[in-house]
Structure 1
């Protein structure tokens, strides 16, 4: 069934390609690679299990959130600390770190006007002085700006660049060997290209415009990763007591303590707020995140089920039906493997 959905989108040229891993407990239910991409030199390459993707906003939970947990556990920061404590030029003392993680800080979703790739703008200075659109803690507006601020706080506290701190304290301890900001030149040709711009495809360079302006490194976007690294990442959240990198209590709090449909960093299906981007068929308490390029992770602690789905969707442009594709995939996973309690697991090497 999953392969049928994938083939339908591939044949209709709605999705160019991707990789998927579905697992419940220790059993791999489905694993596949599909489709292709065009390199920035015009060569067509098939997507494999080893293909690296620009994971876009998954950066928020794969890099920024774990890096924040490291500082919280070391008591170098507190959730209630004002952003202004670490960034004095930020103008609003009543916005704190917890607000940034819950996306209820009052900060808008993006800068206005939105940043374009060819702009010459100081993104950080604009964020420092942006006007909030509501009082902190009142509602949820998913904001890139808040996570960029959080990345800056991590730099101020650690005394390192954000990418250096994330590599040392998060990626290396978690064993994510193929996950990085600003991939080296020699591996860029192996990375799935994103959007066609200015006569060629963006390949191995961050797609997100604000992260691009920030030299490829931000708390909101910029990370590149592959399927197996993100499968490894998910195990930390499903089995918090079986690891020693993070305090298990913090890992649990991130999805068990939530405001509306947002946990600390994650989106959470709370059974009420239908803004959730993944199928509401999944268990209440399921959580995860998505990325603009066509990436997603979704985890169901009750069923010990998860899906890592990485696509290069915007290879075909920004209007592709990536949300519909993701929804169909996740609904099919639950229908096939949970509702029907199927034992006829599809396994592809």
Structure 2
């Protein structure tokens, strides 16, 4: 992207962020545009609920489904790099509790690409079973595995349990030791302490993450713009040097109704919020109003953190986020054309 941050460009983005706050799409937010070495521009809007403070690059937000690609995905890739998993490894091979169940033949690839046949969501918090695996085992398939893409929290909950089985650690402890600490992500963890308040203070917004009271693979992670910028740069480095990371950001689901990488949303996906980017681009969103994006061709990215469910779950936010990214691309990438 062309770095042309003049006053009119900055003001246009500032005004659009303020518009979102005034329309009560979110009470506060933090936006960062970055490249592989530095922050290009950053904006803070609104005040953190229950305080007089404006959010900063070190304000912790509930990431919701960004957990899938910031914690669970890189954990799985570490086991692939070590040769302990392949995309075709089945749950039955590595997760003993699933061996004599219908989940046994489900592959890591199917879980990562949301093609395992599992439903999108299940309100476990309205039930009584407190064991995550037993709760998922009681859920019927939504469709045949491998048939089509259906975005699923349950698939990444299973991947989180797979990480714990292989590592002998909790998902939080493994990710802290192997991912967050090595990358200097000091403010990233499954603890809500010090985070922007959610609808249930002192707990993640996701009902299942609260109910099971443990780190899960689909939601519940808290982090900052500063840490997520470090994480995106980690992906750029690995994308340049490791085939595995290139594969993770390549469309793996052709002919299955949507375009997904391993976890990642692709530019042509139905969930894409960055249609103006290059085909190599990838990103992800979280229900709480969070998103991360990286374009390997431009070698630049965007972190946008809000707490949009504080006021409501206004569906307008989805289009607002798309428009925000469109504006950023217009102001930063006037010289570029999509690949």
In the alignment, the residues of structure 2 paired with residue 129 and residue 88 of structure 1 have an alpha-carbon distance, to the nearest angstrom, of 16
Matches within 5 A, 1:160-171: 160-171=169-180
1:198 match: none
2:56 match: 48
Structure 2 residue 334 is the aligned partner of structure 1 residue 326: no
2:300 match: 305
Normalised to the residue count of structure 2, the TM-score between the two structures is 0.87
Q: Which moved more, 1:309-318 or 1:279-288?
A: 279-288
| Residue 14 of structure 1, CA deviation | 2.2
1:256 match: 250
Gaps of 5+ in 2: 1-11
1:193 match: 197
Q: Contact 1:255–1:266 (CA<8 Å) still a contact in 2? A: yes
2:95 match: 87
| Residue 44 of structure 1, CA deviation | 4.5
Matches within 5 A, 1:235-274: 235-240=233-238, 248-259=242-253, 260-270=258-268, 273=269
Match of 2:24 among 5, 13, 34: 13
Matches within 5 A, 1:50-129: 50-90=58-98, 91-92=101-102, 93-111=104-122, 114-116=123-125, 120-122=128-130, 123-129=132-138
Alpha-carbon displacement from aligned partner over 1:137-185 (angstroms, at most 9, x marks no partner): 22100100000000001111111111111111111111111101124xx
Q: Which moved more, 1:25-34 or 1:65-74?
A: 25-34
Q: Contact 1:194–1:313 (CA<8 Å) still a contact in 2? A: no
For 2:45, what is the secondary structure of its paired residue?
strand
Normalised to the residue count of structure 1, the TM-score between the two structures is 0.85
Q: Contact 2:35–2:301 (CA<8 Å) still a contact in 1? A: yes
- RMSD of aligned Cα (Å): 2.0
2:47 match: 36
Match of 1:293 among 275, 278, 288: 288
Q: Which moved more, 1:43-52 or 1:275-284?
A: 43-52
| Residue 238 of structure 1, CA deviation | 1.7
In the alignment, the residues of structure 2 paired with residue 19 and residue 131 of structure 1 have an alpha-carbon distance, to the nearest angstrom, of 40
